[in-house]
Amino acid sequence: MPIFKKSKGKKKICVIGLDGVPYSLLIELARTGLMSTIARLIDSGHLHQMRASLPEISAVSWTNFMTGTNPGNHGIFGFLDFKPGTYDLRIPNFLDVKVDTIWDILTQSGYKSIVINQPSTYPARRINGVMISGFVAVDLSRSVYPPALFSTLEQMGYQIDVDSAKVAENPALLWPELSKTMASHQKALNYFWEQDWDFFEFVITGTDRLHHFLWSAYQDKSHPAHQAFLDFYQQIDRIIAKIIAGFKKLNESEDSLFILSDHGFTGISQEVYLNAWLEKEGYLSFTTPSPKSLNEISPKSVAFALDPNRIYLNLENKFPGGLVSRSQKKEIKAEIAQKLLQLEYNGQKVIRQVFKAEEIYKGKYSSLGPDLLAVSYPGFDLKGSLKKKEIFGRSYLQGMHTWDDAFFWAAEDYGPDLAIEDVASLILKKVK
């Protein structure tokens, strides 16, 4: 990595993101010697176990990270959300984020930021510096600010993400897709590292894709892809080592370096279809045998779920066919939560905790979100599908997200009670 001339007397800040990498996995890979850089960082600083957002998905968790707040304030509740006042769904994007991001605040402080592959920033918008959106970015030309850099990225063969649809059809494509994406991101890393910046952020998202498709390759030592899984993590360890070496050449110490994930991961034992459960419990019914959308719920419906674990009451004044009144809300929420906690699969409890929205969301947009959020025991992957008639089932996916096993590495110890929305203010304390 080329030496960059230190300029302007600002303290440089570097953030590395590892999408979907659990604290527990990093500890294991450091202990076994596979990730020697992480092992050294654990000795020299603090690896914190951290809570992700709820739901524990990238769209929400990374938005908590970049805004330093929760969905009640920033307005992003999931990859999908209702069009207000309807049962129609839409995909919220970066323009829906209702508060300043960490890069806006850095811009106001005169900091120049370079951000590569940050999930949930599509379409890329103006910051002082460079923004390259990560998934769910659909069009590279709208994934980069300033737009003039589009041709530079195109020439690099920049690929935003692994083509998950292609890999779902043909699992053999996972490794070539991962290496193509990683190689193009590393080219961008090398190119932009040489530019003028005060804040540099690089996010690796192939980790989440690998875990969804091949988590069992890590858990099962006899799995044909076990070594490839470990090799992938060794490659990540080398990338981290290279970034740190480059950062130190700028005469910056590790006290302005931060590494984090947006949620944890574990293996799937069963997928759990919350709408099928709500149907069986009598809270949800449809006017058609194979409903395609929530527009087909019957007028008697009391509640429905959106991916992955968001339960909405069919509230009057919120939904067009809403029948649950404000005065019934508390009681119905308590009843559904109580029943969910009783749900079992082969004698095992499925749901660990059910949060009322007001325990998670604070802010003026809170009422747009769900009423309940269910957290499962590891292995039970909650889903909001409308297509399933049975409560339990399996798909080609092997790994699922976890809520309280994300990680945050920093030189300083910030204590045991850390959530991803706390990270922005810790980083911004380094701004001089």
Applying CB under 5 A, the residues found at the interface with Zn ion are 208
Q: Which is nearer to Zn ion, 92 or 119 (CB)?
A: 119
Q: Which is nearer to Zn ion, 162 or 305 (CB)?
A: 162
As measured in angstroms, the least distance from the Cβ of 260 to Zn ion is: 15
Q: Which is nearer to Zn ion, 177 or 198 (CB)?
A: 177
Q: Which is nearer to Zn ion, 193 or 380 (CB)?
A: 380
Give the strand pairing for 13-18 and 199-204.
Answer: parallel
As measured in angstroms, the least distance from the Cβ of 399 to Zn ion is: 8
Q: Which is nearer to Zn ion, 135 or 409 (CB)?
A: 135
Strand, helix or coil at 426? helix
As measured in angstroms, the least distance from the Cβ of 211 to Zn ion is: 7
**What's the Cα-to-Cα distance from 209 to each of 316, 341, 350, rounded to whole Å?**
39, 30, 25
Chain-centroid distance, C-alpha 318: 27
As measured in angstroms, the least distance from the Cβ of 209 to Zn ion is: 8
Secondary element (H or E) of residue 393: strand 392-393
**Cα separation, 406 vs 421, whole angstroms:** 12
- In this structure, which long-range contacts are made by residues 352-356, counting pairs with CB atoms below 8 Å and at least 24 apart in sequence? 352/376, 352/377, 355/54
As measured in angstroms, the least distance from the Cβ of 309 to Zn ion is: 14
As measured in angstroms, the least distance from the Cβ of 328 to Zn ion is: 35
Q: Which is nearer to Zn ion, 201 or 208 (CB)?
A: 208
**Cα separation, 299 vs 312, whole angstroms:** 15
Q: Which is nearer to Zn ion, 208 or 237 (CB)?
A: 208
As measured in angstroms, the least distance from the Cβ of 199 to Zn ion is: 26
**Cα separation, 254 vs 226, whole angstroms:** 32
As measured in angstroms, the least distance from the Cβ of 215 to Zn ion is: 11
Q: Which is nearer to Zn ion, 122 or 197 (CB)?
A: 122
**Cα separation, 261 vs 206, whole angstroms:** 12
Residue nearest to Zn ion (CB): 208
In this structure, are residues 264 and 23 in contact, taking their beta carbons and an 8 Å threshold? yes
Of 44, 51, 53, 47, nearest to 28 by C-alpha is 47
Of 295, 283, 271, 222, nearest to 384 by C-alpha is 271
In this structure, are residues 20 and 401 in contact, taking their beta carbons and an 8 Å threshold? yes
Provide DSSP, 171-238: GGGHHHHHHHHHHHHHHHHHHHHTS--SEEEEEE-HHHHHHHHHHHHHH-TTSTTHHHHHHHHHHHHH
**Cα separation, 197 vs 380, whole angstroms:** 43
Strand, helix or coil at 255? helix
Q: Which is nearer to Zn ion, 315 or 373 (CB)?
A: 373
Q: Which is nearer to Zn ion, 161 or 237 (CB)?
A: 161
As measured in angstroms, the least distance from the Cβ of 401 to Zn ion is: 6
As measured in angstroms, the least distance from the Cβ of 208 to Zn ion is: 4
Between CA 3 and CA 62, with CA 204 as vertex, the angle to 5 degrees is: 115
